[in-house]
Structure 1
Amino acid sequence: MSPHEERKVPGSPLEREQVVERLCDHYAADHLAMEEFERRITLVHRAATQDELRALLADLPSLQAGQGSASGASGTASSSRTGLEPAGSTPAPARARAGQVRDNQTELAIWSGRTRTGPWIPARTIRAVALMGGIELDFREALFPEGEIRLHVVAIMGGVDITVPPGVRVETGGIALLGGFDEALDPDQGGFEDDAPVLRITGAAFLGGVDITSRHPGESPREARRRRKRLGQERQKAREELEDRAAARRKLPGSGDR
């Protein structure tokens, strides 16, 4: 086989998976920005030959010891324990002290599971990547920092489940390619407190799913669905009552309705 013919060898599915895994390792080691990581993941699925796959890794630095495949990081992540108690049934989430909050945090699950639940302190910027695995980020008992948390998620043939408590302003913006980027949040009940925590979620789902739901601590998914349905019905009923009263006022003499 000539050198020219060798360069045209098609990339196998296994080789694609290996390149994706290496890109995840480099992303976890901060060798790639989020935008560049997502761009290269897209190019992996477009690559037709082995050379095109190799080119996606060629310009990256060597991984140091301990920066190898994160697929061994299975199980439940240890929670940050503090002397502060979560807010429990109080709508406003508990707060962490400024000195307790990290700037960056990475949650990576490759053919495995990763969980953050109970009392824990989220970093100001969180990157979560699930490759043929699952990540659960439960913020219901989390100790929130002041200001906003930026959470960027990528689900590739995997899933990321995000649960937030009432009292947190959630802003989302994501894309889905043969996947889902879905949210089931409480209906707006008149806005939030001025100092309410903000969770800004962005990212993408490639043949995977990102699900964002709001639930009270101890509340099951079924109970949350029923509560949201009830809140929606009450809100609709209140809107109809306001419209009926407005229509009645327009019919009063001197109302200007001719």
Structure 2
Amino acid sequence: MPVPTKDRPVDAVREEVIDQLILNYSHGEISADAFERRLDKAYSIDDAEQLQALAADLPLQSDPRYHSEKQARMQPKFTASTDHPDTLSITSILSADQRSGEWVVPKHIKLNNYLGSIELDFRNAVFTHPEVTIEINCISGSDEIIVPDNIDVITSTTNILGHVSNNRVGLSSNTHTAQRPKLYIQGKVILGSVDISVKQTMQEKVKQFAHSLKSLFDEGKHS
């Protein structure tokens, strides 16, 4: 006998409802406006029965193929390759350095920034380890670290007339995200700044995934 909806964890019900919304929108069962309206409600409601009602009239249920596609597109990427070094060192002196796109993230990153600018964008990065230590030595420079909503960041720095801004604090309590990468940022900031920011929320990423899935199915219909 299934557990009553009201007794189930809200986060689990929310995830199932969002999966149904994505799948039914991508197959043309609901319009784009209806999808976005219901998705907004799914992220704002904290009652399991109200959440389930958002998808009660939708005919399609998620299946292993859907979850495989979701895993490939939505979750942080990992590689088991041993060809990559364990440490990446970046030194910026009166210059700028950037890592973005599908760059390979090692277990340990060292940033030496003297009057320069360094940007690490983890939104499409490929991880070699679930826990990454970023050692910062920032003197009169600026370090910017960009993460999606499914990566956790923990900071522990010594600041001397410096500034550290972390808008992605702490570890998620969601049991469904146990494999999330974690960034541990430590070191010193002297007359400089370190900014950690989320440039793509999980809701935005869900919408992007849903639209890409719909485009994929639409192409299949016309091919």
- TM-score of the two chains, using structure 2 as the length reference: 0.53
1:174 corresponds, among 157, 162, 180, to: 157
Provide the C-alpha distance between the structure 2 equivalents of 1:159 and 1:89, rounded to a whole number of angstroms. Answer: 31
Report what 2:91 is aligned to.
Answer: 108
C-alpha distance 100-195 of structure 1, shift in aligned 2 (>3 A): farther
The residue type paired with residue 194 of structure 1 is A
Question: Which piece of structure 1 moves more, 100-109 or 116-125?
Answer: 100-109
Tell me, what secondary structure is at the counterpart of 2:82? helix
User: Which of residues 167, 188, 194 in structure 2 aligns to 1:184?
Assistant: 167
Q: Which residue of 2 aligns with 1:152?
A: 135
Deviations 1:155-213 (A, max 9, x none): 10111101111211222111211110110127876436222212111111100001111
User: Counterparts in 2 of 1:1-258, with a 5 A limit?
Assistant: 90=74, 92-185=75-168, 190-191=173-174, 193-216=177-200
Matches of 2:131 and 2:172, distance apart in 1: 21
Task: Output the CA distance in 2 between the equivalents of 1:198 and 1:186.
Answer: 11
Q: Assess if the C-alpha contact under 8 Å between 2:154 and 2:169 holds in 1.
A: no
Per-residue CA deviation, residues 104-140 of structure 1 (Å, 9 max, x unaligned), is 1101100100111111001111000110111001111
Q: TM-score, normalised by structure 1?
A: 0.47
Aligned-pair CA distance for 1:99:
1.9
RMSD: 2.7
Alpha-carbon distance in 2 for matches of 1:195, 1:89? 15
Higher relative contact order (CA 8 A, sep 6+): 2
Contact 1:102 1:122 in 2 (8 A): no
**Count of residues in Structure 1 that have an aligned counterpart in Structure 2:** 133
Q: Which has the larger radius of gyration?
A: 1
Q: Would you say the 8 A contact 2:100–2:121 is kept in 1? A: yes
Q: Which residue of 2 aligns with 1:13?
A: none
Change (3 A) 1:168 1:101: farther
Per-residue CA deviation, residues 205-232 of structure 1 (Å, 9 max, x unaligned), is 1000011112228x9xxx9xxxxxxxxx
Aligned-residue sequence identity (percent) comes to: 28
- Give 1 or 2: higher strand fraction: 2
Counterpart of 2:165 in structure 1: which amino acid? Answer: D
Provide the residue aligned with 1:32 in structure 2: none
Q: Runs of 5+ in structure 1 lacking a partner?
A: 1-86, 224-258
Deviations 1:218-257 (A, max 9, x none): x9xxx9xxxxxxxxxxxxxxxxxxxxxxxxxxxxxxxxxx
